[in-house]
């Protein structure tokens, strides 16, 4: 700092900012009139001759004139001259090869910034924009300013405190990203981090929302930690969706199924969406609560907006109905999926499996008869159909075919017991057994 005072003749005294001292002359150089010195200052500033401009403008930092004789009222702004002098000191400093000289000039630029906050009223200077400019100054010159990065972050945080919405949306979210990212690096500031994100969320676009989620995931790496922080916030606001979702993620990671289900139910109750219905349905299905899962899948199906979701949810509905023993209902959902996408290989595999389950159910309390074996031809038909329309199912189909082919009717079953002929079409319905009446499809003797 001694170098600073020697070079510039300007001192910082306590909180009072830049004050006229022994070397700080409030008069223009060479006895010039103020308007003449100001004119030379302006011309050289515009031409980029900053050292020469400084010689004729430094006096304004000492005298702090609100007007200059000869300049029409309202045409002179001291705050504007301060901004110019900040740029002058910064540019001269960056041009210096001596680190101590460079630091001295940049220190003076910092001092002028500090002076502006004290010297000018809110009507004269937009303090929010001043914080923004100073924060950028620190950020751009942090290599030459002690704790430059942290000083920049402090200014950005003050911007957020002054106007959360403006800071969240400004520069495509740049300032809120920098602020939140810096907070996330300090474990002691996690409460502040959550509070800042909660305050900013209503103003954030989807991209920034995703950024917030990533930051929180990194900041609260363990599910126990997430549960502690988000659970504490939930006690204060039991209907906070963001905190409920955070708690649900923690319960899922900790395999706390009962707590997870209750939390997901609360989320769905507060904000029933496609995603909330589907997530809760999947959990209920995993917990073997098939009736509840079916209701939720049905709700999700009603809210689905694209064919991919619709066909997949129809398959989910077929699965839970199979688990409940409702094979006929399961068939309807599979056929609905095929109607949406005739090339949906998984649906044909599901139909084959459904008919295989039909045989298992029908023979649960009796021996497998030749008529029951006929159904396996239909199973094979649908397995072959699956790989015909969807090559990606080939390995799955091939792994199942041999199992079913081994239990199809043998020669005696076909020609002597059942009286079939090769290539004959056979109806799989009540004519085989009453429990197959709902299938009502045709296969071929082979």
Angle (CA) 69 75 78, round 5°? 80
Q: What percent of the chain has pLDDT over 70?
A: 95
- What is the overall mean pLDDT for the chain? 92
pLDDT above 90 for 177:
yes
Q: What is the pLDDT of residues 391-419, one digit of tens each?
A: 999 999 999 999 999 999 999 999 999 99
Going by C-beta distance under 8 Å and a sequence separation of 6 or more, which residues neighbour residue 9? 21, 23, 24, 25, 58
Q: What is the pTM of this model?
A: 0.57
Segment among 77-81, 230-234, 370-374 with least mean pLDDT: 230-234
pLDDT above 80 for 220:
no
pLDDT above 80 for 262:
yes
Q: What is the pLDDT of residues 424-438, one digit of tens each?
A: 999 999 999 999 999
Give the start-end residues of each E strand in 5-150: 11-12, 18-19
Q: How many Cα atoms are found within 13 Å in the side-chain-facing hemisphere of 276?
A: 17
Measured between alpha carbons, how far is 136 from 152 in angstroms, rounded to an integer?
Answer: 7
Higher local confidence (pLDDT), 21 or 424: 424
DSSP state of 412: I
Q: What is the pLDDT of residues 301-342, one digit of tens each?
A: 999 999 999 999 999 999 999 999 999 999 999 999 999 999
pLDDT above 90 for 237:
no
What pLDDT sits at residue 26? 93
Q: In residues, how long is the chain?
A: 446
Where does residue 239 fall: left (phi above 0), alpha (psi -120 to 50 degrees), or beta otherwise? alpha
Q: Among 269, 265, 289, which residue's Cα sits nearest to residue 279?
A: 265
| DSSP-based helix, strand, coil % in the chain, nearest 5 | 70, 5, 25
Q: Tell me if 76 sits within 8 A of 37, measured CB to CB.
A: no
Measured between alpha carbons, how far is 358 from 364 in angstroms, rounded to an integer?
Answer: 10
Which stretch of DSSP H or E encloses residue 425? Answer: strand 425-428
- 3-class DSSP assignment, residue 441: strand
Q: What is the pLDDT of residues 60-110, one digit of tens each?
A: 999 999 999 999 988 999 999 999 999 999 999 999 999 999 999 999 999
pLDDT band at 2 (very low <50, low <70, confident <90, very high): very low
What pLDDT sits at residue 8? 42
pLDDT band at 23 (very low <50, low <70, confident <90, very high): low
pLDDT above 90 for 379:
yes
Strand partners of residue 97: none
pLDDT above 90 for 131:
yes
Segment among 101-105, 110-114, 190-194 with least mean pLDDT: 190-194
pLDDT above 80 for 4:
no
Q: Strands 441-444 and 425-428: what pairing?
A: antiparallel
What pLDDT sits at residue 6? 36
What pLDDT sits at residue 332? 98
* Most confident of the following: 189-203, 228-242, 344-358: 344-358
Q: Among 378, 302, 306, which residue's Cα sits nearest to residue 341?
A: 306
What pLDDT sits at residue 191? 84
CA distances from 140 to 85, 147, 155, 160 (A): 17, 12, 13, 20
């Amino acid at each position: 700092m001694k170098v600073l005072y020697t070079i510039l003749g300007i001192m910082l005294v306590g909180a009072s900012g830049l004050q006229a001292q022994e070397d700080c002359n409030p008069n223009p150089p060479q006895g010039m009139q103020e308007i003449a010195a100001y004119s030379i200052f302006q011309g050289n500033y515009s031409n980029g001759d900053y050292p020469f401009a400084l010689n004729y403008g430094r006096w304004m930092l000492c005298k702090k004139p609100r007007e200059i004789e000869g300049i029409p009222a309202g045409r002179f702004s001291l705050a504007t001259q301060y901004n110019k002098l900040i740029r002058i000191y910064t540019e001269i400093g960056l041009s210096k090869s001596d680190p101590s000289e460079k630091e001295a000039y940049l220190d003076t630029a910092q001092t002028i910034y500090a002076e502006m906050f004290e010297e000018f009223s809110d009507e004269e200077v937009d303090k929010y924009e001043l914080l923004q400019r100073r924060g950028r100054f620190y950020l751009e010159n942090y290599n030459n300013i002690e704790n430059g990065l942290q000083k920049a972050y402090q200014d950005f945080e003050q911007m957020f405190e002054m106007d959360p919405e403006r800071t969240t949306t400004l520069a495509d979210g740049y300032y809120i990203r920098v602020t939140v990212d810096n907070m996330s690096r300090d474990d002691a500031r996690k409460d502040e981090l959550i509070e800042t994100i909660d305050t900013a969320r209503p103003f954030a676009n989807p991209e920034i929302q995703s950024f917030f989620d990533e930051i929180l995931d990194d900041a609260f790496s363990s599910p126990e930690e997430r549960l502690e922080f988000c659970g504490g916030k939930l006690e204060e606001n039991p209907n906070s969706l963001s905190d409920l979702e955070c708690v649900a993620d923690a319960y899922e990671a900790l395999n706390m199924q009962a707590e997870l289900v209750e939390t997901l139910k609360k989320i769905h109750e507060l904000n029933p969406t496609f995603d909330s219905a589907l997530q809760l349905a999947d959990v209920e299905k995993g917990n073997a609560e098939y009736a509840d899962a079916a209701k939720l899948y049905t709700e999700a199906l009603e809210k689905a907006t694209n064919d991919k979701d619709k066909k997949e949810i129809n398959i989910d509905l077929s699965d839970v109905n199979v688990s409940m023993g409702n094979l006929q209902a399961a068939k309807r959902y599979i056929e609905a999926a095929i109607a949406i996408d005739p090339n949906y290989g998984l649906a044909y595999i599901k139909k084959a499996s459904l008919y295989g389950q039909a045989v298992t159910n029908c023979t649960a309390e009796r021996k497998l008869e030749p008529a029951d074996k006929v159904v396996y031809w239909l199973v094979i038909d649908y397995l072959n159909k699956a790989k015909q329309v969807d090559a990606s199912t080939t390995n799955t189909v091939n792994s199942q075919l041999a199992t079913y082919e081994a239990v199809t009717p043998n020669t005696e079953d076909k020609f002597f017991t059942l009286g079939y002929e090769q290539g004959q079409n056979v109806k799989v319905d009540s004519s085989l057994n009453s429990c197959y009446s709902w299938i009502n499809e045709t296969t071929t003797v082979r």
